[in-house]
Amino acid sequence: MWLAIIGLILGIGMGIGSAIVFPPGYSAYVAIGILACLDSVLGGICANMRDEFEWKIFVTGFFWNAVLAMVLIWLGNQLSIDLSIAAVVVYGSRMFHNFSQIRRILLHRG
Amino acid sequence: MKKHHYSIALTMICLLLGIIIGVQYNTVKKQRISTENQRLSELTLALKQAQEERDALKQKNETLESTIKEYQEGTYHSSDQELEQLRSFAGLTVVTGSGVCVTLNDSSTNNGGDRNAYLVHAEDLLSVVNELNAAGAEAVSINGQRYVGKSAISCAGSIVMVNGMRVAAPFEILAVGDADVLQSALKFPGGVVDSLSPWGIEITIHKETAVTVPAYTQTALFKDLAINIAEEEE
């Protein structure tokens, strides 16, 4: 778990350090993709701590959730429905859930 | 050992996610800066315009004060220059200047539906003229008919009446003014050109260095109005 957090911090540092920017129109998609990925990673950490981690599920979930979220947003844009709200609510609540699971496991372990 | 393997996968994924988050942070930050810059340049433009307006008003104030002085001294004469200014303001003189030439023609295509939708209507001409005037056109004419304060553009069957004269497609609208501003006033997204082009109406805009707009030739008849000279003089 600590390795994952170190990797995340290192990655953020590399991203900010680089001068790369996304094309302006895709910013909303990337944001929702990040949310989906964060949710997957938290789920992965949670599963890892419970020794239920399966890396195939994790890796496919990581990419599939992000792609699915972006496709949903795109579809929403075509139909003029703000589906990003749905994605934010679902992934947000799942992140909170995962956080509470991690906290519980840490408390029990301690 | 196996768990260690998973940890590496997790770390690599987290690294990737971190990079994406970092780049997104950069993107958002850059966007915020660019919108702030935009606001700044808008304000600069507004300030410049306000200053120019103030200077122009100051100058006008000075000339008006000198006119008052002339009145007081009893030496005031309405000059030819003033008369000429009023005439050009009323559109009674031929004027030349840089500007645009807009041509509109009926659509040559017919993709079904109402045939009328593919013709240039009086309303279309009116909206073009209106956009040109809104963009600061100093003189406008349609097929040789000067557009002045009293002008009407109306529909009369298959033709259009401007100033009470029949004009027909192709329409040529001449406008004197800042050519770039006039052109962009018509071409902006969702503007007049955008609303007419789906119907295949042929609309072209040429920037010209010298556009000659004819004078208003109709005899303006004032039957019902009386000019209150006394009130104006007060």
- Is the CB of A7 less than 8 angstroms away from the CB of B12? yes
Domain count of the fold of chain B: 2
Q: Do residues A11 and B18 make contact, with C-beta atoms less than 8 angstroms apart? A: yes
Distance CA B172, CA B22 (A): 55
- Domain residue spans in chain A? 27-103
Domain interval for residue B147: 93-213
Highest mean pLDDT among A9-13, A26-30, B10-14: A9-13
**Residue at B32 is within a domain:** yes
Other CB atoms within a 10 A radius of the CB of residue A90 amount to 15
Instruction: Encode pLDDT of B43-53 as tens digits.
Output: 888 999 999 99
B116 alpha-carbon distance from chain centroid: 27
- Closest-CA distance of chain B to residue A81, Å: 22
Chain B contact for A100 (CB, 8 A cutoff)? no
Report the residue of chain A nearest B27, measured CA to CA: A21
Query: Is residue A1 scored above 70 in pLDDT?
Result: no
Q: Are residues B105 and B206 in the same domain?
A: yes
Radius of gyration of chain A (CA): 16
**For range A9-25, the mean pLDDT:** 84
- Is the CB of A58 less than 8 angstroms away from the CB of B12? no
> What's residue B87's pLDDT?
81
Report the residue of chain A nearest B34, measured CA to CA: A24
**B145 φ/ψ angles, rounded to the nearest 5 degrees:** -100, 115
Q: Are residues B203 and B131 in the same domain?
A: yes
User: What single-letter DSSP state applies at residue A40?
Assistant: H
**For range A17-42, the mean pLDDT:** 85
Ranges of beta strands (E only) in B46-129 are: 95-105
- Return the closest-CA partner of residue B203 out of B190, B193, B211: B193
Q: Are residues B142 and B64 in the same domain?
A: no
By Cβ distance, the residue of B14, B24, B25 closest to A8 is: B14
> What's residue B35's pLDDT?
75
**Residue at B138 is within a domain:** yes
What is the CATH number for B193? 3.30.70.1880
**Per-residue tokens: B163:** 């100033």
**Per-residue tokens: B215:** 């004078």
Give residue B64's identity as a one-letter amino acid code: L
- Is the CB of B11 less than 8 angstroms away from the CB of A18? no
> What's residue B234's pLDDT?
47
> What's residue B4's pLDDT?
61
> What's residue B77's pLDDT?
65
Length of chain B: 234
Q: Are residues B58 and B143 in the same domain?
A: no
Length of chain A: 110
Low-confidence ranges of chain B (pLDDT < 50): 1, 234
Instruction: Encode pLDDT of A38-91 as tens digits.
Output: 888 888 888 888 888 788 888 898 899 899 888 988 898 888 888 888 889 999
Instruction: Encode pLDDT of B2-25 as tens digits.
Output: 556 667 777 888 888 888 888 888
Calculate the dihedral angle through the C-alpha atoms of B135, B131, B126, B192, rounding to the nearest 10 degrees.
150
For chain A, give the mean pLDDT. Answer: 86
- Closest-CA distance of chain B to residue A3, Å: 6
- Is the CB of B24 less than 8 angstroms away from the CB of A24? no
- Return the closest-CA partner of residue B98 out of B174, B21, B16: B174
- Is the CB of B18 less than 8 angstroms away from the CB of A14? yes
In chain A, which residues have their Cβ closer than 8 Å to the Cβ of B17? 8, 11, 34, 37-38, 41
**Residue at B162 is within a domain:** yes
